[in-house]
Every structure is written in C-alpha cells, then in structure tokens.
Structure 1
C-alpha cells in the first residue's frame, strides 16, 4: 500500500489538526481546520473538541481556534526551547546593546533552521525571520553554522536536493555550498550576505552544549555591505561562547572551532 494510502491513526489525526496552524494561520475556523488537516468535518469537530478540553486549543469569541496555553506549557519543557532561550537571553541582549541590530537564536530541525528567539532593532534592516519561522539551512547564517556542524548525512541530504534561490545571490550550487561549510567549520563563524533578501547580511556563530556538540546558532543581521562586518564577527563569537558556557560547555572538551 502506498504511503499516501496508509490509514492515519487517531494520534496522526490529532497531530494533523495541530499542524494545520502555522505563522500565517494562527487562528482557524473549524471548517478551515478540517480542510487544512484533510479530515472530514465531523472528525475534525471531534478532535478539536478533545484538544480544546485538554487545553491544546482555545476558542475565541468569534469562534476561531488558536493554539492553547497548555500546549505552550508542555512545549516549554523542550531542552531546545525555553531553557535554551533563558540561558541565551542575557548574551543576546548584550549583543543587541553592542550593535543595535537584529539578533537571532536558532536551532536545526531536520533540514530546516527554526528561529526560537529574536531581538529586533528599530532602525535595523528589515528581516523576514520571526520566532517559530523556518528557513532552509543553506540560505541563512545560522543555518550554515548548524549545517556545517551537523552530521555528514544531513549535509549530503541537503546538497542532494535542489537548493532554493531567494535572490540572485543565493547559493544554489552544492559544490560551492560544501566549500562554504568547510570554511564555516574552519573559521568558527558564517557570513551570509544577500541570501534571503538583497539588503541583509548575517554573521553567525555556533552555540555548544555541555558535551561540545553544536546545539544552536546565534547571529546578528545588518545591512548588506555594512563596513562593521569584521568587527561583528568577534562580537557574535563572544555571545555564542557566553551562551555555550551558560549551558555547561567547557572549552577543554569542545569538539571543533570556538
């Protein structure tokens, strides 16, 4: 039986309901949930009721549903979620005060980078990243750091698929991407310019966990061509090291460049 025809379990259907929500669709009606989750309306109604009673969904006065506070409470237990953000925040704030530019903290999920914290500069370049947003690993500074320090199998999987171009400057050649990843590992940072938008440049560095493995990446995003870029590199590295130490990393046990 083809994978697309395998019957979905009750757990699968519950997860499909939750997956119907995303950054562009934070509030949905029952019929929208039914359509986006590809479920009969009666089934969607039953599952939404179950999730609402448990607190995973909440219904507002207009009848639309939102992700509920109970689900957020459970998600806060994720080691790469709130705990990481809390450890990182003092260093992200220091980096912002130093630069007054957009500062990001991100983790890898599969073949994508997920932003888990962001501090926005009022006069900084406009960016398309938001907390919870996902982007391909090859097209962002934080993504390059996470990919460079990821498993070889993950790197090959990314390089084996077409690399999406967001601007004329986006790296889409797998051979060139491999060379960039090698340089990121050698230098301990990534500089990604005009990859998602033509007016932005990102400087990123790895955040390490207690065992020295890279668990996240921190970045600052400035206008493309900003002449402060050489000075931003050590600033981002300092922030990344500070977060790493807050997570229990000791330089004596690191497994790669600082």
Structure 2
C-alpha cells in the first residue's frame, strides 16, 4: 500500500479489479491485486458491501453493487445522451435489423483514449459482437472509434500515434499512414467503415455527431455481417440518425 494512501484511493484500487472477464472476484484475488493487508481489505469490503457499492456472491466472491449502478445512471451519458439517443437508435435498428452502437471518446490522454460504449441495441438476427454497455473498444479497429478519430485535430492525432496500434485481426490497420488515409476518407464521406478489423465477418459503419456542449465527442454506428454490408445504403442511414440525434441533443 502506498504511503499516505487514503480510503478513496484504496476503494478505487479495489473497484479497478473488476473486469469484463472477471465481474466477480474473490477476496483472495482482491488482496493479491491490490496489495492491501488482509485486515484493511476486509474492513474496506465490509464497508463497500454495507453501502451497496459491492455485493457478495456465490463462492465467497464480490461483484459491483446496485448503488454504483444507481449513481452511474445519474451521469449525463445516461440521463442526457443515452435517453435522448434511444428513439433514434430504435429507428435505426428497425430500418436495418442490425446492431446499433452509441459510443463516446474517453481517455486521459490521446495515446490511451478508447471508444466507451454507452448504448447498444441488438436482436436475434443481429450478428454477435464483442461490445457491451460500459465496455470499451479501440479507436482504430471499430466503426465508432474511427468516426471519433476523424473529429480530432492534428495535434491530438500526433499524440495518439505515439502509441503502437494493436492488431485485433489480420485485417486491422496498424500503420499510421494507412489509418490517416482512412481518417481522410471518413471525413470526405461523412461516415467511417471497418471491414473485419475488430472481428472477422463483421463490418461496421458509423458517424460522429458535431460537438455538443457538456458531452464528450459522440458517435453512432452499426455492426453488420459482411454478407449484408451494403455501405451505400447503410452509410446515409447512419449519417441521418446522427444528425437527428444531434438536433435533439441541442434542443434539450
């Protein structure tokens, strides 16, 4: 434990142990990951459970509690963005039958920034995707991510390209030159596309919204199967949905 570390810092270290792959974690694992003394950790866990920030599960595990979900729903990303976006996402889903994603740009620095998924609609006929509400995706291999990249200025992009681009599939773009060309194409068309760059068999089409005061940069997109990926039809649908959402966000 770092010298002088307060309760808030220790709490954040505990909460940071929960991931997509491990939404439920044992106290033993929490102790190993946080380095907290057993007595300190157990007192902290008891407090977090009592306050509803964590909940106890089977097998002596802990999971994120309802109080954290309740607090998260007070975020502008939920109250303002997602609630306003939902009718537009429904219309886009009804027009296509495909996965609809709503994402924002999130990160402390360009090199570590990702697309944070704040809304998702899917159906039984939609192709499976890796995304989930509250999950994150790379900017360079997702449709919403590329759309968000196209909104960034040159100074921001220079910092972004300081970090290597990770390969998700054999089709992922990992060179700065190629990705910059793709960003230029996105700006020219008004929407971004990916073809099997995050998941094999999947194609995405996404458009960024003009900036809305009080919100981070926002993008709306579709993920479809390669066999159904008619970019000329889907691109205009996504662009119009993004325009309509932007209008409503500004009106509200």
Q: TM-score, normalised by structure 1?
A: 0.87
Q: What is the distance in 1 between the residues matched to 2:139 and 2:216?
A: 14
1:208 to 204, 207, 210: 210
1:51 and 2:27 are equivalent in the alignment: no
- Map 1:119-130 → 2, pairs under 5 A: 119-130=121-132
Residue 77 of structure 1 is matched in structure 2 by 74
Which of residues 111, 114, 130 is equivalent to 1:112?
Answer: 114
Q: Greater shift after overlay, 65-74 or 229-238?
A: 65-74
State the aligned residue count: 247
Give the whole-Å Cα distance in 2 for the aligned partners of 1:66 and 1:91: 33
In 2, the alpha carbon distance for the partners of 1:45 and 1:151 equals 47
Partner of 1:92: 89
In structure 2, what is the Cα distance between the partners aligned to 1:213 and 1:18? 25
Q: 2:169 aligns with which of 163, 167, 172?
A: 167
Post-superposition offset of 1:61? 5.6
- Cα deviation code 1:27-69 (max 9, x no counterpart): 1221122223332322221221222222211223653222111
**Counterpart-to-counterpart distance in 2, 1:36 and 1:214:** 31
Aligned-residue offset at 1:208 = 3.4
* Shift, 1:155, TM fit: 1.9
Q: TM-score, normalised by structure 2?
A: 0.89
Which stretch of the first structure deviates more once superposed, 166-175 or 70-79?
Answer: 70-79
8 Å Cα contact 2:76-2:215 kept in structure 1? no
- Given that 2:203 and 2:225 are in contact with CA atoms closer than 8 Å, whether structure 1 keeps it comes out as yes
Deviation at 1:183, TM superposition (A): 2.3
Matched, 1:195 2:197: yes
SS state at 1:139 partner? coil
1:1-258 paired onto structure 2 within 5 Å: 8-60=5-57, 62-110=59-107, 111-211=113-213, 215-226=217-228, 228-248=230-250
Do 2:203 and 2:229's aligned partners in 1 also have CA atoms closer than 8 Å? no
Q: Is the 8 A contact 1:107 1:217 kept in 2?
A: yes
Larger CA deviation: 155-164 vs 134-143 = 155-164
Q: CA deviation at 1:94?
A: 0.5
Gaps of 5+ in 1: 251-258
The CA distance in 1 between the partners of 2:207 and 2:124, in whole Å, is 23
Check conservation: 2:48, 2:54, Cα contact below 8 A: yes
Structure 2 counterpart SS, 1:20 = coil
Do 1:142 and 1:204's aligned partners in 2 also have CA atoms closer than 8 Å?
yes
Moved more, 186-195 or 34-43: 34-43
CA contact (8 A) 2:165 2:174 kept: yes
Give secondary structure in 1 for the equivalent of 2:221. Answer: strand
Q: Does structure 1 conserve the Cα–Cα contact (< 8 Å) formed by 2:77 and 2:215?
A: no
- Structure 2: how far apart are the matches of 1:38 and 1:139? 35
